[in-house]
Amino acid sequence: MDGSGLRFETMDHGGEYPDQMPQAIRLTDAEGRSCIYVPVMQNGRVVDCLGHMEDAEDD
pLDDT, tens digit (0-9, with 9 covering 90-100), for 14-47: 777 777 777 889 999 999 999 998 888 888 777 8
- CB atoms closer than 10 angstroms to residue 24: 13
CB 23 within 8 A of CB 14: yes
pLDDT (0 to 100) of residue 12: 76
pLDDT (0 to 100) of residue 7: 94
CB 26 within 8 A of CB 9: yes
Q: Residues in the chain, how many?
A: 59
pLDDT (0 to 100) of residue 33: 95
